[in-house]
Structure 1
Amino acid sequence: MARMKGGASRILVIKRAGLRQFIEAEPVFASIREAHPRATIDLVTSASLQRLAKAAPYFDRVVATRDTMQSEERKQFAGQLKKIGYNLGYDLDGTKESGDLRSSLKGFRGPQWVGPKLSSPKKLLAPGPFAGPAVRKLLRDSGLPLEERLPSLSWLSAQEGGANMDPSWFGISGAFALFIPSENPQHRWPAEYYGTVAASLAAEGVTPVIIGSQELSSYAYDIMQYAVEQSRAGGRAAVDLTGKTDAAQLAVLAGHARFFLAGPSEELHLVAAAGTPGLVLLPASEDLASDALYGRQVVKLTATSMQNVAPELAVRTLLNMGLMGGASRSQGQAFA
């Protein structure tokens, strides 16, 4: 690998495409850092991932860009990167946008690239984004030693992020569980079913916390209404945090949660990587093979229609997993 004057390497990593893809690349980030222990490693990522990326121990600097950059904006950004002068670049996205950025960095001061081959300045031979297995193969083919392990967020500490990284910042105290509805209405468990489980949790003194994008706020409201109608415990039936957490805050919340109950979603992969056990409600048509879900205390319930997965079955499964019915997961286990 080329070296800069003084023997220090400068490396650029591109990982902007998707929360799931970012989580699945975590072992790759670790391998890049281990392979280049004295290098200065900069990451280009998206604004939604910036805070989580900054908390990771693998990068010296994290730069966030808009998801889609116009030609002139990309040219200016590439010019700034050229002035820095990178020896080596890792394209871990494999998207048209990352290919465009790579093409903009060509020239005398451009880096050597590890990434999908470009069939033309604007087109990738293997368009992405590509997830865990494809990224690992790419890195192995480049000769980079890779540690075969699950994605982990054990390096993330609530203390390092300030007060707004603690569950109490959101008004959460005591035991709680994360509800993660699917963004896709066709893959979403009925709100009434979530409400039934929420009522069962309230009877145990466990608070359901609903997470996801702002677009799920009305659905979260429905869950809370159903929970109130069915609950005999009184008090707050659930906490709605839809649209109110970034990726780093969510990872810390997951580290303190007793368990999760989720449909197919981007957030699911982050919560699983935090080491949180849980139950996934999965349509038969949905392929949810994911690095973050392998080898975890995670059970999947699959059906052709989500309405066919009765809430009583979900509760019974959580009981059998030891996550309900008086069983208590050690709080803060993931970030102890």
Structure 2
Amino acid sequence: MSGPVLVIKLGALGDLVQALGPIAAIRRHHSGQHIALLTAPGFVELIQATGLAHEVWADTRPSQLDLRGWLALRHRLRQTGFARVYDLQTSDRSGWYFRLFWPGPRPEWSGIAHGCSHPHTDPSRDLMHTVERQRAQLAIAGIADVPLADLSVLAGRLDPARFNLPTRFALLAPGGSAHRPEKRWPIDRYAALAQVLAQRGMVPVVVGEANEKALALAIAATCPATVDLAGQTSLVDLVAIAGRAALAIGNDTGPMHIADAARRPCVVLFSRASDPALCKPWGATTIQRDDLADLSVDDVLEKAGSI
């Protein structure tokens, strides 16, 4: 098979990071072919920095009523002449992208879209961890030896000097989906944790989005040694910072996937709202409580001390 190859992975951040291993396997399998990747606009810079794709497209996400947007996307997909598409998103939206090739010609398609050439039909696929599920999907398309996501090489190439990071620090990620507060460990626990870490010679460095600034300020109010980087980092910056952390502790949120892929020791905190067996950063140590309010600082420190 010759011709360009498209990989679809739209998000979210943690899911995208876990797909970096499969994308690397696709790149290796199709050595010599042009690889394009379709992803959310906010992830374009990160994918470009990894060098895993020759070309990165920002998904325009046309709404249901945006006929012009759908036609433009259809034209772009069809005129490129893709020989094969790997749908690593396997969502309703990416399924609609498969339909944009109607009435044909259609590329070979790895995914779950009805009528595709390489369907992943395992009825237990939704019970698999993301890494295992994507490995099984790619095996059907003839790709074996799928590695884990690895951002350590990229982290080593980047220079986070402008952040004036301390020599020894712990990365804290106290945020997460604003509409799912049950996935967040209480901020007063993070503040207490930061105090203990600082007393032990490990400076807390807090990362997060701009709308999570209040969380960082609350930690810094209790632990003045805290370095507050909330709202100040791109995803590429985050790779550089995470790659130099002695330890990362945080909720079930995207930055923890970056820290894990940068091959740093990680402790990820889960509530009953998500299942680590399905979505945890692959190499991370996890703690789960039905309600994260029941998780003590001592429990987290004990787990961190074991890695």
Whether TM-score is above 0.5 comes out as yes
1:268 aligns with 2:256: yes
**Residue pairs, 1:57-206, within 5 angstroms:** 57-69=51-63, 70-108=66-104, 110-118=106-114, 131-142=130-141, 144-157=142-155, 159=157, 165-183=158-176, 184-206=180-202
1:278 aligns with 2:276: no
Mapped to 1, the partners of 2:155 and 2:269 lie a distance apart of: 29
Write the letter of the residue equivalent to 1:306.
L
Contact 1:283 1:302 (8 Å CA) reproduced: yes
Q: What's the offset of the Cα at 1:113?
A: 1.6
Mapped to 1, the partners of 2:5 and 2:264 lie a distance apart of: 33
Residues 68 and 219 from structure 1, CA distance in 2 versus in 1: closer, same or farther, beyond 3 angstroms?
A: farther
Contact 2:95 2:113 (8 Å CA) reproduced: no
Mapped to 2, the partners of 1:45 and 1:148 lie a distance apart of: 20
Write the letter of the residue equivalent to 1:283.
S
Deviations 1:150-206 (A, max 9, x none): 2222341454xxxxx533222323222111124232232222221122122223443
- Who is 1:250 aligned against? 238
Q: What's the offset of the Cα at 1:71?
A: 3.4
Mapped to 2, the partners of 1:119 and 1:149 lie a distance apart of: 28
Residues 158 and 37 from structure 1, CA distance in 2 versus in 1: closer, same or farther, beyond 3 angstroms?
A: same
Mapped to 1, the partners of 2:155 and 2:175 lie a distance apart of: 27
RMSD between superposed Cα atoms in Å = 2.8
- Who is 1:56 aligned against? 50
TM-score with structure 1 length normalisation?
Answer: 0.78
| Counterpart secondary structure, 2:277 | coil
Q: What's the offset of the Cα at 1:119?
A: 6.9
| Counterpart secondary structure, 1:177 | strand
Write the letter of the residue equivalent to 2:25.
S
Contact 1:43 1:59 (8 Å CA) reproduced: yes
Identity %: 25
Q: Equivalent of 2:287, from 301, 309, 320?
A: 301
Mapped to 1, the partners of 2:71 and 2:209 lie a distance apart of: 32
Mapped to 1, the partners of 2:221 and 2:270 lie a distance apart of: 24
Mapped to 2, the partners of 1:88 and 1:320 lie a distance apart of: 45
Q: What's the offset of the Cα at 1:275?
A: 0.6
| Counterpart secondary structure, 1:256 | coil
Mapped to 2, the partners of 1:108 and 1:290 lie a distance apart of: 36
- Range that drifts further, 282-291 or 211-220: 282-291
Q: What's the offset of the Cα at 1:45?
A: 0.9
Mapped to 2, the partners of 1:119 and 1:241 lie a distance apart of: 47
Contact 1:12 1:41 (8 Å CA) reproduced: yes
Contact 1:14 1:45 (8 Å CA) reproduced: yes
Mapped to 1, the partners of 2:300 and 2:233 lie a distance apart of: 26
Contact 2:168 2:202 (8 Å CA) reproduced: yes
Mapped to 1, the partners of 2:80 and 2:271 lie a distance apart of: 47
Write the letter of the residue equivalent to 1:281.
L
Residues 58 and 118 from structure 1, CA distance in 2 versus in 1: closer, same or farther, beyond 3 angstroms?
A: same
Residues 71 and 87 from structure 1, CA distance in 2 versus in 1: closer, same or farther, beyond 3 angstroms?
A: same
Q: What's the offset of the Cα at 1:273?
A: 1.4
Size of the aligned set, in residue pairs, is 295
- Who is 1:234 aligned against? none
| Counterpart secondary structure, 1:118 | coil
Q: Equivalent of 1:23, from 17, 26, 32?
A: 17
Q: What's the offset of the Cα at 1:76?
A: 0.7
